[in-house]
Amino acid sequence: MSTVIVSQDDLLRYHSLLASLEKRISAMSSELGHPLTYLVKTYGCQLNESDSEKIEGILQSIGLIEAEESAIPDFLFLNTCTIRENADIRLFGNLGAYKINKRQNRDMFIAVCGCMMKQEENVARIKKSFPYVDACFGPSDIHLIPEIIEQKLNQRKRVFSVSEEDYLVEDNFIPVKRKRKFRALVPIMYGCNNFCTYCVVPYTRGRERSRDSKEILKQLKSLAEEGYKEVMLLGQNVNSYGHDRPDEISFAELLERTAQIPGFSRIRFMTSHPKDISEEVIRTMQKYPNIERHLHLPMQSGSSRVLKRMNRHYDQEQYLKTALLFRECLPDATLTTDIIVGFPGETEEDFQETLNVIAKCKFDSAFTFQYSRRPGTKAAEYPDQIPQDVVTERFGRLLELQNDLTFQSNQSMVGKTEEILIEGRSATAPDVLTGRTNSSRLVNFKIPKGIQLDGKEINSDDPNFDADELEGRLCMVKILKAKPYSVEGELERFCE
Structural domains of the chain, with CATH:
3-168 (3.40.50.12160), 182-411 (3.80.30.20), 417-494 (2.40.50)
Please check the confidence at residue 248 and state whether its pLDDT lies above 80.
yes
Q: Looking at the predicted structure, is the pLDDT value of residue 427 above 90?
A: no
On the question of pLDDT at 441 being above 70, the answer is yes
pLDDT of residue 450: 87
Tell how many helices (H) and how many strands (E) occur in the chain: 13, 23
User: What's the confidence (pLDDT) of residue 275?
Assistant: 96
d(CA 409, CA 404) in angstroms, rounded, equals 9
Contact 298, 274 (CB under 8 A): yes
pLDDT band at 221 (very low <50, low <70, confident <90, very high): very high
Q: What is the value of pTM for the model shown?
A: 0.93
The pLDDT-based confidence of 15 (bands split at 50, 70, 90) is: confident
Asked whether residue 20 carries a pLDDT value surpassing 90, the answer given is yes
Predicted local confidence at residue 84, as pLDDT = 64
> What is the mean pLDDT of the segment spanning 408-416?
97
Lowest mean pLDDT among 206-215, 364-373, 393-402, 422-431: 422-431
Kindly indicate the confidence band of residue 1, based on its pLDDT and cuts at 50, 70 and 90.
low
Mean pLDDT of the chain: 93
Residue 496 has pLDDT above 90, yes or no: no
Q: How far apart are CA 334 and CA 27, in angstroms?
A: 54
pLDDT score at 85: 61
Closest of 64, 75, 55, 77 to residue 34, by C-alpha = 64
Largest CA distance in the chain: 69
pLDDT at position 2 over 70: no
Whether the per-residue pLDDT at 438 is higher than 80: the answer is: yes
Contact 81, 115 (CB under 8 A): yes
Higher per-residue pLDDT: 156 or 487: 487
* pLDDT reported for residue 172: 78
Q: Summarize pLDDT for 59-105 with one digit per residue, the tens.
A: 999 999 999 988 889 999 999 988 766 677 778 888 888 999 998 88
Question: Per-residue pLDDT averaged across 275-303, rounded?
Answer: 98
pLDDT band (50, 70, 90) for residue 453: confident
Q: Do 301 and 340 form a contact (C-beta atoms < 8 A)?
A: yes
Taking alpha carbons only, the member of 148, 112, 155 closest to residue 131 is: 112
Region 463-489: mean pLDDT is: 91
Q: What is the pLDDT of residue 188?
A: 97
CA distance 37 to 18: 16
| 219, HSE (Cβ side, Cα atoms, 13 Å) | 22
